[in-house]
């Protein structure tokens, strides 16, 4: 059985009766058990998946109404809550947390008869770019297992790229979907802020993050967006997009469109292979009938600093609830005074989380907020004004998703500043709320390179059309696992 098919192909095959959901899920689980020891994409595998797929087959056979996923195996980043199952955020702090409720995206996908094959690895609480900060060990890049898969949704990207599932949901706070998608050769999507409900996504920096699909094709992303977007009474920040069909007209092309190349994102230190891939992408866009010009977003140079200041502030507050009183891990409370208990309990957080929480205690504090947090908010606002102005003249903005190629595991983990610079091209879309996508575009020395396209808020459909057009110009080698 070919596990390499896309979501849309899968639906076609099941509808035609060529495959059953049960067989496909069983084969998928088989593959996971064969290769995931090497890749470590999953923190948990759902042992009921085959049974669930069988139930969906029954529905199909009996002619009952079947959801759009037809039992499609999907992996879920382990910071998204699935009822009655563990949601650990790859942290020891939540090693025993069993969610009593479904995230909105999960209830929507259940409605559409998706099968969740497992919870995917991530950097602890989604803080990181490599999955090396997972308390349960890193995931490996399926193209070369000595290399990082990117992060924080590394497990999601690995599982899709290595065909351990058909698609995945990750979360993107500063590039956490697009970065691993780029490093693993998958499509990664960060929607307009508010397009997908965050209810049930464990917050890291709630004012800028979004759940986003990681898929094998751009069409699959459009397919998933049709299922999981929209207004949600449980998330006041969601936007009404009713009537929007992201899949229809995806072949529209980009003839006559104007594209801006963000100069500040092709910085010194960009890998020559990434640079030449970017030039190549520009000529492909032009070949598709678009015009490309250099544009400038001056504030980008402050964006990473602003990003870390804002995310640390929000993380410091969002993670304050993990005091180990109501849920968490086994650690008896007797003999402790409240504050000393919390201090002691919180030593279970990993080093990166602790680093950001300490920063989060400092940058918004009295006497320092003006110099750091409030200044970061100003950068965010100015960057937004700048990008809005540029987008008046351009339909899309492009830049490589990550300026460098995947690096070796352990190579940069002790150099947080070097890791921070990996974010330079992705954080802008989070800080400004704009949709952005990473499309697999090239392979250099056996490692993938992704190209990023940005569009204006609520122009997600148009963005997918451009991404689909670009995707059609490339044919990448198959993942060697």
Partner 1 sequence: MTKMGLEIHCQLTNIESKLFCPCKANYREFEINENICPICMGLPGSLPRLNQEAVKKATMIAMALNCSTPEKIAFFRKNYFYPDLPKNFQLTQLNIYGDTSIGSSGSIMVGDKKIRITRIQLEEDPGRLIYEGSSSKNQITLVDYNRAGTPLVEIVTEPDFENPKQVREFLNILSDLLENLGVSDPSLEGAMRADANVSIEGGNKVEIKNINSFHDLEKAVHFEITRQESLHSRDIPIVQETRHWDDKRKITISSRSKEEELDYRYFLEGDIPWVKIDQSTHEELKSKMPESISSKKERYVTKYGIPSQVADVLSSDKFYSDLFEESHTESNAKEIANIITTDLMGLVDTREKRESAKITSSHLKDLADSIQSGKISRNSAKNALHEIVKTGKELSQIISELDLGNVSDESELIKVIQEVISEESQAVEQAKSNPQTINFLVGKVMQKTKGKADPKLTLDLLKKEVGI
Which residues of the chain form contacts with partner 1 (CB under 8 A)?
Answer: 79-81, 87, 89, 94, 97, 99-101, 103, 198-203, 206-208, 233-237, 313-314, 316-317, 320-323, 325-327, 338-339, 342, 361, 364-366, 369, 373
Q: What is the dihedral of CA 373, 377, 383, 389, to 10 degrees?
A: -170
**Residues 108, 114, 115, 118: is their CA dihedral positive or negative?**
negative
| CB of 94 or CB of 160, closer to partner 1 | 94
What is the DSSP-derived secondary structure letter of residue 121? P
| CB of 381 or CB of 444, closer to partner 1 | 381
Known catalytic residue at 378: no
Options 20, 134, 159, 176, the catalytic residue:
176
| CB of 337 or CB of 478, closer to partner 1 | 337
Give CA–CA dist 103/452, Å, rounded.
28
Residue 430 C-beta: closest distance to partner 1, Å = 12
Give CA–CA dist 186/220, Å, rounded.
11
Q: Tokens 């948990």 identify what position? A: 44
Residues 6+ apart with CB under 8 A from 218: 187, 250, 437, 439, 464, 467, 468, 471
**Helical packing angle, 7-15 and 21-39, nearest 10°:** 150
Known catalytic residue at 99: no
SS3 72: coil
| CB of 275 or CB of 325, closer to partner 1 | 325
Best CA proximity match to 355, nearest among 409, 288, 413: 413
Residue 323 C-beta: closest distance to partner 1, Å = 6
**Helical packing angle, 218-228 and 7-15, nearest 10°:** 80
Known catalytic residue at 92: no
Residue 155 C-beta: closest distance to partner 1, Å = 18
| CB of 16 or CB of 233, closer to partner 1 | 233
Give CA–CA dist 308/312, Å, rounded.
6
**Contact status, residue 158 vs residue 191, Cβ threshold 8 Å:** no
Residue 86 C-beta: closest distance to partner 1, Å = 11
Q: Residue 152, preceding bond cis, omega within 30 degrees?
A: yes
What is the DSSP-derived secondary structure letter of residue 86? B
Give CA–CA dist 480/161, Å, rounded.
10
Token duo for residue 254: 């980009």
3-state helix, strand, coil in the chain (%, to 5): 40, 15, 45
Give CA–CA dist 278/61, Å, rounded.
48
φ and ψ at residue 35, rounded to 5 degrees: -110, -15
Best CA proximity match to 165, nearest among 104, 116, 199: 116
| CB of 76 or CB of 463, closer to partner 1 | 76
What is the DSSP-derived secondary structure letter of residue 347? G
| CB of 324 or CB of 438, closer to partner 1 | 324
Residue 317 C-beta: closest distance to partner 1, Å = 5
Residue 362 C-beta: closest distance to partner 1, Å = 9
Three-class DSSP labels, 128-178: CCCCCCCCCCCCCCCCCCCECCCCCCHHHHHHHHCCCCCEEEEEECCCCCH
Residue 156 C-beta: closest distance to partner 1, Å = 17
| CB of 434 or CB of 468, closer to partner 1 | 434
| CB of 22 or CB of 314, closer to partner 1 | 314
**Contact status, residue 157 vs residue 207, Cβ threshold 8 Å:** no
Residue 194 C-beta: closest distance to partner 1, Å = 9
Residue 18 C-beta: closest distance to partner 1, Å = 38
Options 6, 20, 75, 77, the catalytic residue:
77
Options 152, 156, 168, 182, the catalytic residue:
152
User: Would you name the residues annotated as active-site residues?
Assistant: 77, 152, 176
């Amino acid at each position: 059985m070919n596990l390499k098919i896309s979501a849309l192909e899968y639906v076609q095959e099941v509808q035609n009766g060529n495959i059953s959901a049960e067989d496909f899920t069983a084969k998928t689980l088989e593959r996971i058990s064969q290769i995931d020891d090497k890749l470590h994409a999953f923190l948990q595998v759902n042992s009921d998946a085959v049974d669930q797929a069988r139930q969906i087959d029954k529905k199909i056979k009996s002619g009952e109404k079947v959801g759009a996923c037809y039992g499609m195996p999907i992996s879920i980043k382990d910071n998204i809550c699935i009822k009655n199952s563990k949601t650990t955020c790859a942290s020891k702090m939540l090693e025993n947390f069993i969610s009593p409720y479904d995230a909105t995206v999960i209830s929507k996908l259940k409605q559409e008869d998706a099968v969740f094959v497992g919870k995917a690895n991530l950097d602890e609480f989604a803080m990181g770019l490599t999955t090396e900060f997972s308390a349960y060990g890193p995931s490996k890049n399926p193209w070369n297992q000595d290399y990082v898969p990117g992060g924080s949704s590394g497990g999601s990207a690995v599982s899709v790229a290595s065909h351990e599932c058909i698609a995945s949901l990750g979360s993107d706070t500063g590039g956490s979907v697009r970065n691993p998608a780029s490093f693993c050769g998958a499509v990664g999507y960060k929607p307009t802020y508010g397009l997908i409900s965050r209810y049930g996504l464990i917050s890291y920096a709630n004012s800028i993050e979004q759940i986003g699909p990681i898929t094998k094709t751009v069409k699959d992303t459009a397919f998933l967006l049709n299922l999981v977007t929209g207004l949600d009474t449980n998330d006041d920040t969601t936007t009404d997009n009713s009537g929007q069909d992201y899949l229809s007209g995806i072949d529209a092309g980009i003839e006559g469109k104007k594209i801006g190349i963000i100069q500040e994102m092709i910085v010194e230190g960009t890998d020559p292979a990434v640079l030449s891939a970017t030039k190549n992408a520009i000529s492909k866009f032009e070949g598709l009938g678009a015009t490309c010009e250099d544009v400038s977003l001056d504030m980008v140079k402050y964006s990473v600093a602003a990003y870390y200041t804002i995310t640390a502030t929000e993380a410091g507050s969002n993670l304050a609830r993990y005091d180990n009183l109501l849920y968490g891990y086994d650690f008896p409370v007797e003999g402790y005074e409240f504050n000393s208990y919390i201090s002691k309990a919180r030593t279970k957080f990993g080093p990166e989380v602790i680093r950001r929480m300490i920063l989060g205690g400092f940058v918004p504090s009295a006497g320092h907020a003006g110099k750091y947090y409030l200044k970061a908010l100003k950068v965010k606002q100015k960057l937004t004004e700048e990008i809005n102005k540029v987008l008046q003249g351009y339909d899309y903005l492009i830049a490589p998703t990550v300026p460098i190629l995947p690096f070796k595991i352990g190579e940069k983990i002790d150099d947080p500043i070097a890791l921070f610079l990996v974010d330079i091209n992705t954080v802008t879309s989070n800080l400004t709320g704009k949709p952005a996508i990473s499309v697999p575009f090239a392979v250099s020395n056996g490692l993938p390179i992704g190209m990023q396209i940005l569009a204006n808020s609520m122009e997600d459909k148009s963005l997918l059309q451009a991404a689909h057009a670009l995707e059609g110009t490339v044919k990448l080698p198959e993942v060697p696992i």
